Structures are given as structure tokens and as C-alpha cells.
Amino acid sequence: MSKPRSAPSTTPNLRVSASGVHGLGAYATRPLPAGAFLGLYEGRRYTPAQIAAKTWDDSLTYLFKLSNDETIDGAKGGNATRHLNHSCDPNCEAVEDYDEAGRMVLRFQTLVEVDAGDELFIDYSLTADDGSSPADYLCYCGTDACRGTMLAAADADVDEAAG
């Protein structure tokens, strides 16, 4: 069963609206327990070679790189999960998984219990392969845990490489 590419899946737990942090945001439509499924990150998929061959606009914010080196561009055919903003102290997370066809997918789910109307965030933990500096990805999440940038913490990179 494969859905037509042109039809992003519905995300009944999410409502997209203006965000207090940045642009549009995603909000919970109902109270959700920790671990609640929000949706899969959808969009056009690119291989590393395709990514390298393409000229990307600096303002693009919907690219999600998977650990298998595929990149999903949520700007093309993505659903409401692409509107989750970054927070250094997030209430949601993105988890890699596999669909029935064995293809890697990215599940968005809650990390903690959330109330109806709460804005939902994940920690983007961006990696800047292009040598960008943290100042290119300033964070305004305003939480106590704020790193000041949406880039992954330096020690997180080390952990990831080791694990």
C-alpha cells in the first residue's frame, strides 16, 4: 500500500498556526501522553549525491537528514510535522524507524505529556556539514536549556560518532 506522492498524510494530533517562536508552529489538538505518535516526516527524498548536486537556498528550513544519509525535504509534499519548531528543551522528538517496505522513516512523537493547545517542539540538533557557524542558526527558544543555536551540541556529535 503506497500513498500517492502528492497526498501528504493527515496529522489529526497537530494544528498548524502562527508560532510565538518562529513563523508557523505545530500545536497539539488534544491532550497527549508521552510517546504519542504525531506523524511521519514526509517530503521529497534525496540521496547524498542529489543533495550535493543541488544548489540550496540558504533560507531552507525543511531539510531533514536521516542516518542512512538520505535527506527528506518537507517543503515538497510534506505534512504538518514540518512545522514543529526547534527548542533546546523540546516536548517532542524525531525517531528513525522503518515502514513495511523496509524504508527508513522519521516518526515524530511526544517526549512528555502535552496539553491541548501546547506548541510542539523538537531539538533539531542540526549538523553543519557546510562549515556554517552556530551564529548562522541562532536559537530563540528562550528555555533555560537554550544553547543559543539550533546546531547540535559539540559533545552530542562525539557521542553520536562513538555510538
The grid cell for 145 is 536549556
Give the nearer residue to Zn ion in terms of CB position, either 40 or 111.
111
Asked if residue 89 lies in contact with residue 119, where contact means CB atoms within 8 angstroms, the answer is no
CA distances from 157 to 50, 61, 133 (A): 24, 21, 15
Between 38 and 88, whose beta carbon lies closer to Zn ion? Answer: 88
Cell numbers 498556526: residue: 17
Least distance to Zn ion, CB of residue 151, Å: 11
**Binding stretches for Zn ion (CB under 5 A):** 88, 139, 141, 146
| CB of residue 126 to Zn ion, shortest distance in Å | 12
In the complex, the smallest distance separating the C-beta of residue 92 from Zn ion, rounded to whole angstroms, is: 15
Closer to Zn ion by CB, 34 or 146: give it: 146
Nearer Cβ to Zn ion (40/152): 152
Contact 105/79 with Cβ under 8 angstroms?
Answer: no
- Residue 73: what are its φ and ψ, rounded to 5°? -100, 100
Q: In the bound complex, what is the minimum distance in angstroms from residue 139's beta carbon to Zn ion?
A: 3
